[in-house]
Structure formats: C-alpha cells, structure tokens
Amino acid sequence: MIIAVPKETKFKENRVAVVPAVAKDLVAKGFTVQIEAGAGLNSFFSDEDYINAGAAVVADKNAVYTQADVVLKVNAPTPDEIALMKKGAVLLSFMWAATNPELVSACEKAGISAFSMDAVPRISRAQKMDALSSQANLAGYKAVLMCANQIGKILPMMTTAAGTIKPSKVVIFGAGVAGLQAIATAKRLGAIVEVSDIRPETKEQVMSLGGKFIEVKGDDTIKMEGGYVKGVSEEFLKKQQELVGKHVAEADIVITTALIPGRKAPVLVTEEMVKSMKFGSVILDMAVEQGGNVVGSKLHETIVVNGVTIIGEGNIPSLLPMNASDLYAKNIQTLLYHLASKDGFKWEMEEEITKGSLIVHNGQKVHPSVA
C-alpha cells in the first residue's frame, strides 16, 4: 500500500503526521511511504531525513492525494483535497466529525473510508493510539510556560536580602490530561495550585500532584461517557462559578481546559470573574477553538481586558512541534498497524477500536455521531 503524508495547511499548524523514524518503520513493514515536499520542515524534519528513512519526497501536492491508498494527516484534508483521493482510499486524521458535516459529506462523495483520531475509544488497549491524550499532555505543560512568560512576576516563593517574594497562585479548571500536566508543571515551578473539576473522582489525582481541590458537589445533571463529560446543566455551571469565583479573584494565573466532545465548550470564567481579577493577572483559555471557557477570549489572539491578559492560542501542541509530531506519529502508526498490514485493511467492523473510530466506510456514514 502507498501511504501518503501531505503537508499540513491549517493556520498556525506546525506538526506533521509522520516523522522520519516512523516512516522508516513503515517502510520496513512493507509499506510505500510518500511525503509531500516540506511537510516536516515546521517540525524540524528535513526532506533529506525522510529520504534517508526510505520514503519518497513528492513535490506535486495533488499527486500525494491521487496516488495514495492511505492518507495520514494531523488535521483533516479540505473537501477539495478529499475529492482528489481515489475511490476506496482510506483517511486517518483528526476529523471532529460530529461538528464537521461538510467534511463527512466530502468523504461520502469521494467514496473513501475515514477513521478519526479523536474518536479512538478510551480503553486500555488503545492507549498508544490516543492522540487526544498525547497532544493534551504537551498542551498542559506549554500552557503554564506561556502564562509564566506573560505574567510580570515569578511563580515560586523567593527569599532575598530585599525581602520575600510570595509564590504565585494558579487556578486550573479541569483535571483531565491537560489539566493534570498543567498542575504538575505549575507545582514544579513553585506556584500554589488550586483546581476545579466537576468530577469528584479527580480529587485524589489533583492532591497527589500537590494541588488543592476546589470541591463542587456533583449532581445527576452531569453525564459521563467513555471518560468524557458529555453534558452538564446550566444550573450546575452557575453553582460551580459561584464557588470558584473567589479563588479566581485571588489568582495570578487561570488556565481553563474544559471541553465537551461534539458541543461548544462550557463557559467557566464569566465577564464578572475577569473583572474581579488582579491587575496584571493572566488567563489562558485552552478551549478557545471550541467556543471558549472564558467570556471575551479570542481565537489566536492575546488581548488585555481591564488589565487582565487573556491568551487565546488555538493550537498549543503545535508550539511544540518536534515532540507533538513524534507522539502523534506513534499514535497514528499504532492505529494503522491495528487496522491493516501492507497487504490491506482487515475491516473487522465489530471490533471495538475499528467500530469506534471509523466514521465513513466506502462512502457510507457508519459512526453513530454522523449516521
């Protein structure tokens, strides 16, 4: 099979779906690997690196799609790019299918099959395929560094001859993968860390990392599915905001990480909460691309509101492209090896990982989120 890796074209995207080490392993397994010229440059992998790994570098972007049996990408191709793919070809990428009907329609029209990296089930045997977690882990780390770089003070306590500097206070919304890494990073830098999460079972994890858990009593309006929060009532969010509000007012840094798959991100930091914060404090909204957890945050922009800096970077893993590409390439490689060999795909339609991640099969919608 010919595996093609096009260059990412999304705004501010620096990652690549396959790194040279993974390309070398794919070639060793009998696959033919074609990389679009320059696809790895923003991740600091040269065309020569891929050639040395046994891959072919293709200058013609259209040929990358038209010749491929399998297309591996970080972000999904555009509908026009999908139209170039031959009937029966296979796409593996992030798709966010439930909120991208035009993309799903393009896959149907082209008669291709498409697997979505964000739909891989969160089960133990799929951990090495979990690109959401690998990328969120890096994002949580980088988010703290971005805030530390923006704020006009240090994070740890420091005793000097001129006096003692108090440690910064960091409030983190959400103790998922990104939130937990943010807690660990902020603690390593010496900050006081307080954490809010609507799932009471996260309390132990937060405390094990040295964070203080802001406990909001849950209720039956919180709906969980596959490790994700699938829904929560407006009444509960209001109760959470009231309790957490005083912690936000005292914070130097606030980081929000809450997402609900297939839906707009919940509002956690209101306009009033922003106004209550100290002059010079910093907020980073990690959910800004899905509508934002912070009222007033703007995608791909850093703004100042009443003296509070609000960072709205929409693709934080892309700011660490070497590591992010390396981890993502291993995620997508593991999924590919699970689904296929050099001779073709297994199409085990009732197998849990296949069933969970397959969105379109031979031009027919099959995933519950789009069917």
**Tokens 């296929």 — which residue?**
340
* DSSP H helices in 47-176: 47-52, 61-66, 79-84, 101-110, 131-150
Distance from C-alpha of 209 to C-alpha of 181, rounded to nearest angstrom: 9
47, 49, 69, 130: the catalytic one is: 130
> Please, what sign has the CA dihedral across residues 46, 52, 55, 60?
positive
Do the Cβ atoms of 116 and 93 come closer than 8 Å?
A: yes
34, 116, 133, 168: the catalytic one is: 133
105, 122, 150, 369: the catalytic one is: 122
User: In what side-by-side order are the strands of the sheet with 2-5?
Assistant: 56-58, 32-36, 2-5, 70-75, 90-94, 113-116, 358-361, 364-365
46, 127, 208, 364: the catalytic one is: 127
How crowded is residue 89: how many other Cβ atoms within 10 Å of its Cβ? Answer: 23
For residue 328, indicate whether it is catalytic: no
For residue 15, indicate whether it is catalytic: no
Q: Which residues are within 8 A (CB) of 367 and not within 5 positions of it... i.e. 6 or more apart?
A: 97, 116, 119, 358, 359, 360
Q: 64: closest CA among 96, 88, 44, 89?
A: 89
105, 228, 276, 337: the catalytic one is: 228
For residue 133, indicate whether it is catalytic: yes
Do the Cβ atoms of 120 and 130 come closer than 8 Å?
A: yes
Q: 69: closest CA among 49, 41, 92?
A: 92
Percent helix, strand and coil across the chain, each rounded to 5?
40, 20, 40
For residue 127, indicate whether it is catalytic: yes
Residue type, 49: D
What residues are annotated to the active site?
122, 127, 130, 133, 228
